[in-house]
Structure 1
Amino acid sequence: MEGAIGRDLAHALRTGPFSAVLHLAIEDRGVRLDELQERLAAEGVHVSLTTLSHWRRGRSRPERPDSLRAVRLLEGILALPEGSLTVQLGPRRPRGRWLGRPPGTIEIDRLFTDGTSVTKMLGDLDRWMYHELTRLSLHDLYRVGPHREEVGLAVRQVLRANIDRVSRTVAIFASDDPAAHVTVLAVRNCRLGRVRTEEATGLVAAEIIFDRMLAQGETVVLEYEYRSTSRQPPPTRHYYRGFAVPVVEYVMQVQFDAAAVPARCHRFERRALEAPEQGVGEAWIGSTGGAHLIASDVPPGIVGMRWEWE
């Protein structure tokens, strides 16, 4: 068995979840589940084909001592780095509805201003699990109007299902103006589900329902928008995207109206909203009033731009 690791598997080893790593390792090594079962049995660990299939598809995960021993053996059988499968499991998850965080993620409330409870808002929506989808690509286009006001955000996402029967994701937006009226629009390959708002903070959480149910390994390209209207909008001075889970590629564009092009613009990163800025650098504004940044293999945290008119 070759020890080389393919690109998709290498990425999954960095970002998880467990089911994706196991599935891609099996595909990469070209082995069958019954072969894995036989190899495990030869080491004195007996795991049913159904259980192996459920681990691979994300329908269950190893938790019992014998199951964890099987995972450690699978690392050797599949020629994976020692501990690379085990680390994906993290702490034992609670029973029932699960909004817990697997390894390599961040508590989502740390990405928003104090006083918000995104976790609570998500709990009011349909079940949402960090591990169901891999974020392959995310493209934001943030628009600033002629009075330096926030106009809206257009989003394009490419997602891959890590388990069968995935039908939706959750989109979260925090307006610069808590008094603004924010409308969420499904543009392409999706429709809008339930929407929850937090008037005190301008936070909006919405279900984005795919135009078809995804099986494991299938992808979807989503496009949706937020439009912000306000009677007396304050000037917007930054836009940032918070990542609770990793994303393979992120592109941010900020488009300024010709009457509101700032004097300078900078990109920045943070591990959490209140953490210090890192990776600060100038973001050039083109002759048509646009600035952009591109980031690859983005870890959980914040990527953003800020600007000044004076």
Structure 2
Amino acid sequence: MGEQIIGRELAHVLRTGPFSAALHLAIEASGLRLEQIQTQLAEQNIMVSQTTLAYWRRGRSRPERPASLLAVEALEGILGLPADALTAQLGPRRPRGRWLDHPPGTMQMADVWSDTGSLDGLLEAVATPVHNILYRVSLHDLFTIGPDRGAVSLVTRAVVRATADKVSRSVFVYHNDEGEGGLPTVHPVRNCRIGRTRSDPDEKFLVAELIFDRVLDTGETAAVEYETRFGPGVRADHYHRAFPAETGDYLLQVQFDPDALPARCFRYSRRRENAPDQGVREVLVGSTNGVHRADSDVAPGLVGLRWEWE
């Protein structure tokens, strides 16, 4: 993992948690082995086993006793972190249930979209945790428009990093906010398969599990690719991606058929789906009939491109 990537992800988890991910990335950034960290703690008369450090790092246990909290304070100095950078992550015990409360810097999944009467129920039916266990390192969407100005496909490539042990899946949510045409189908392309799917044709929501090709422990990554295929009649004059949590890098490309080139194209952001556009700026379609936007350190909300046909 490159030092720049580690530094950016460390800054993110120091804001949002959890403790295990912050400790793991701080150790990675320091370049120290657990044996060296244990030795430096012992030099301060703080005795912590390497096994305990490994458990803290992987989220299998957390420091709670006074002696353990003293060790965490010492770790901040050893790892070159600001005072309270790690201890601030240690609040009350978190619920042990499968659904985790969303940390600062995230939004509830249903809060991103408008008209979400059924979305909570669909997410519960799929029962996939959304927040706090996967950090999206990068995301790439390629949205294709056909000659009839309709949506053809959306190919998504994602790199995610686990912030807890035993993470095996993510969740895909699609909302047809245009209201025309039916719901698409989702197909695995690389390093994943599609699990349970649930939909609400009336409110135009589709929710599906993306099951990784292996189980991830803390700090491990998955690189997955999947394709969303649209049926006839799904007209499109925009595409936006919803981000319930902060994300590292995002690339959105829209590829137009040569017989369906837009007159103008704009980039925009929104806090929620039904909120007003922000940061609107015109972008030019290239000679190969495509347009794109690239963003780093994406905040929760929506990021997209829209276009005018006439």
TM band (smaller chain): 0.7 to 0.9
Partner of 1:247: 247
Does structure 2 conserve the Cα–Cα contact (< 8 Å) formed by 1:104 and 1:245?
yes
1:217 aligns with 2:219: yes
CA separation of 1:89/1:303 partners in 2, compared to 1, >3 Å: closer, same or farther? Answer: farther
Residues 89 and 292 of structure 1: CA distance in aligned 2, closer, same or farther (over 3 Å): farther
Secondary structure (helix, strand or coil) at the match of 1:216 reads coil
In the alignment, residue 202 of structure 2 is paired with which amino acid?
A
CA–CA separation in structure 1 for the residues paired with 2:89 and 2:304: 28
Q: Which residue of 1 aligns with 2:102?
A: 101
- Compute the displacement of 1:180 (Å): 0.6
RMSD: 2.9
Shift in alpha-carbon separation, 1:221–1:121, aligned structure 2, 3 A: same
Change (3 A) 1:9 1:274: same
State the distance in 2 between where 1:89 and 1:198 align.
Answer: 39
The whole-number CA distance in structure 1 between the counterparts of 2:130 and 2:90 is: 14
Q: Where in structure 2 are the equivalents of 1:5-20 lying within 5 Å? A: 6-16=3-13, 17=17, 18-20=19-21
Residue number in structure 2 paired with 1:193: 195
Deviation at 1:286, TM superposition (A): 1.6
Q: In structure 2, what is the equivalent of residue 155 of structure 1? A: 156
Pair 181,117 (structure 1): closer, same or farther in 2 beyond 3 Å:
closer
The alpha carbon displacement at 1:57 in A equals: 0.7
Which letter does structure 2 place at the counterpart of 1:160?
R
Q: 8 Å contact 1:19–1:57 — kept in the other structure?
A: yes
Q: Could you tell me the TM-score, scaled by structure 1's length? A: 0.84
How far off is 1:106 after superposition? 1.7
Residues 125 and 52 (structure 1), Cα distance of their counterparts in 2 relative to 1, 3 Å cut: farther
TM-aligned CA deviation for residue 220 of structure 1: 2.3
Matched, 1:295 2:295: yes
Number of residue-to-residue matches in the alignment:
303
**Bigger mean CA deviation after superposition, 250-259 or 98-107:** 98-107
TM-score by length of 2: 0.84
Letter of the 2:273 counterpart: L
Structure 2 partner of 1:264? 264
**Which residue in the other structure is 1:278 paired with?**
278
Task: Give 5+ residue unaligned stretches, structure 2.
Answer: none
Give, as a single letter, the amino acid of the residue that structure 1 aligns with 2:228: Y
Give CA-to-partner distance per residue, 1:14-68, whole Å, 9 cap, x none.
Answer: 3214322201212333142684497389577x76655533321123445677765
Equivalent positions of 1:65-76 (< 5 A) are 70-76=71-77
Query: Per-residue deviation at 1:70?
Result: 4.8
Match of 2:210 in 1: 208
Shift of the 101–67 alpha-carbon distance from structure 1 to 2, 3 Å rule, reads farther
Distance 1:273 1:177, change over 3 A: closer
C-alpha distance 168-266 of structure 1, shift in aligned 2 (>3 A): same
Q: One-letter code of the match for 1:266?
A: F
Which amino acid in structure 1 is aligned with residue 172 of structure 2?
A
What corresponds to 2:238 in structure 1? 238
How far the C-alpha of 1:84 sits from its partner, in A, is: 2.5
Q: 1: distance between equivalents of 2:224 and 2:79?
A: 34
- 1:2-151 alignment, distance < 5 Å: 6-16=3-13, 17=17, 18-29=19-30, 30-32=32-34, 35-36=37-38, 39=41, 42=44, 50-62=51-63, 70-88=71-89, 92-151=93-152
Q: Is the 8 A contact 2:263 2:309 kept in 1?
A: yes
Q: Distance in 2 between matches of 1:259 and 1:127?
A: 41
One-letter amino acid matched to 2:282: E
Distance across 2 between alignment mates of 1:245 and 1:40:
38
Say if 1:75 and 1:174 are closer, same or farther in 2 by CA, change over 3 A: same
Give 1:129 shift: 4.7
**How far apart, CA to CA, are the structure 2 residues paired with 1:220 and 1:299?**
21
Q: CA 1:299/1:220 → structure 2, altered by over 3 Å: closer, same or farther? A: same
Change (3 A) 1:282 1:121: same
How far is 1:210 from its partner? Answer: 1.5
Match of 2:229 among 223, 227, 230: 227
Secondary structure, in 3 states, of the residue corresponding to 2:41?
helix
